[in-house]
Structure 1
Amino acid sequence: MNEVKLQKVDDHRLPTAILGGSLAPDARSVVAACMDGIYTVDLDSGDYDQRYAHDSYASSAHWLADDVILSGGYDGRLEWFDLKNGKSLRQNQLHAFWSWETAIDPKAKHFASVTGQYLAGGYKYEPQGEREPSICVGSVETGEVFHRLPHIPSVQAVAFSPDGQFVAAGNLMGEVRVFEVSSGKLAATVKTPDFTSWGIIKSHCYLGGIFAMRFTPAGDELLLAGMGEMRDPMAGNGKQLWQKWKWDQGEPRLVDQIHDGEHGEGLMEALAIHPSGDFFAMGGRLRGGDWNVALFALDDGRRLTTLKTGYRVTTMHFTPDGSRLIVLGTQGQPKPEADGMIAPFGRAERYVLSGADG
């Protein structure tokens, strides 16, 4: 494929960190899940409005049809909010612990939310079993939960297949479980040790895991993202890592992963697949190296281009026409200034792609 380039055309600031978000149907605005609530942001002007708040950090948000927002938060709650009349339509207390992430299927028919707290279950610090089901799947229209599915906590990433028939959830220990949406039946289990670290310096515990996940356009493979193994869990210097797994035919197998010499160090938290199906974006934190966002060819895995944003990337989306990449995140948390105010540290940027097929 042709060389792909990214050029920044918009750089907007929000009061607090953006932990998740999605595009509006017209692709000119985003809904942002922030530390202090749910915001809508006009990507042309940078104007924003705080619409409502969770009882803790908001972790994810989806802009549905008819200007309805569906969001999840660290309060374990999902909320449906009508932007037109400024009223909450429904609140559903799904989890006793955090909603780490939510996903909506391509037809906006089903939602999924994942939860779980890592607690030591034995002297080897293996994860304790669930205190509540780790995965909830339900109806976007009614809020009804029709599956509560098991996993090993903490479960940090969730995604639907392109046809909406499967939902996959990945955890701290590098295990992905794929379930049939209709029946709740387990369809496949992918296990990879490469995203999980055992700290032997300072802290003796497991950390890391799968932080982002997407089905490929054909639905037969899974992209996983996170960070490679570390000896010191406080350092955050594991290699930037993605893997691609074939999951739907017998024993799952590793197809490809980030190539030697094409990665730096840092936790990768975001994945987005271009509408053409030719390449994908991965982004996150930069600990060492010269990039924290990069594009990779989906067929052969080669790196196409890179960005150094200067802040932690938590969410990315390509516009439906494939012409732009929206990047959301947070630039640390600054200390209060002399007047007690804190400078805005949420970031929303828009990049134009060149050289890519639409």
Structure 2
Amino acid sequence: MELDVVNLFAIAAGTLAVPLLAFMASFMLWPSVLIKIYYWYWRRTLGLQVRYADCGGYRFCYSYRGKPGHRPSILMLHDFSAHKDTWLSMVKYLPKHLHLLCVDMPGHEGTTRTNVDDYSIQGQVRRIHQFVESIRLNRRPFHLVGTSMGGNVAGVYAACYPSDICSITLICPAGLKYPNETKFDCQLQDLEHSQYTLSIPLIPSTPEEMEDMLKLCSHVRFKVPQQVLQGLVDVRIPHNDFYQEVFMEIMGESSRYALHEHMRQITAPLQVIWGKQDQVVDVSGASVLAEALPGCQVDLLENCGHSVVMERPRRTAKLILDFIISQQSMASGSNKKKS
């Protein structure tokens, strides 16, 4: 009898040990695989589904949750070298009944990448409009959110296609002429002087460079294990040539200040969210937008850097939702007065 009990414990321990050892081996040897599984699991937990939209041989990949309803749909545009899952930490704090869409930007992650595509800000704006029309998102005006490069694209989109938009949120947007310089601006100057022979801080190719990039983009210091840093690098390395191509495009003459050149054409209600400790694009850009568009709402976050969505997901979600609700209330109040 005692032998049977010992055997039973041995079998149970073996059963538990196998998946545990498999997990540990995966973590040590293939951290990039676990990162992909992690995103898949998080999307599933939050109720997001991945879909594709085909437009004349071009395919967009996006995740969505909910259906169009009383509140406007929300389309989110991620930043440079990121992907639709960038928004997961914020989506967690948004009501499940809202219709949310997170699209992979042109050439990023699951969206088509071609050697002849135009990855300038205007080129990306045209692609996003193609996506919007292909899924008929603009049957009703929607709320557009963009961060960093995605904020540059979102702002220019709102200027070029005003009838599509009911309101817009720009989070630490690129594309402005900032009164103050940042740490990244100094690095960029060194990069330009070297004629781009130095490595680009936003395109890491080693765990050490990945750690430096995280420190640059985040004021909050996350303790990231070496294996995770390696996994993040492994996921990105196959795409680094593409990222360099996009970086050169968006830093080019026609794109670098695209938002600045289009901001006065934005007619939709505008919300600006910025981390006060942003080291990539300076928070002084918020005052540039406020002066150009006096009616815009500015929300500055203390102890927060460039990665607002990662550092302050709950706060950011609340700010966006409150802004959308306030704009709806103002619109309905205005309609009642007219009637």
Q: Larger % of strand: which?
A: 1
Tell me which protein shows more helix as a share of its residues.
Answer: 2
Does TM, scored on the shorter chain, surpass 0.5?
no
Larger Rg: 2
* Larger RCO (alpha carbons 8 Å, 6+ apart): 2
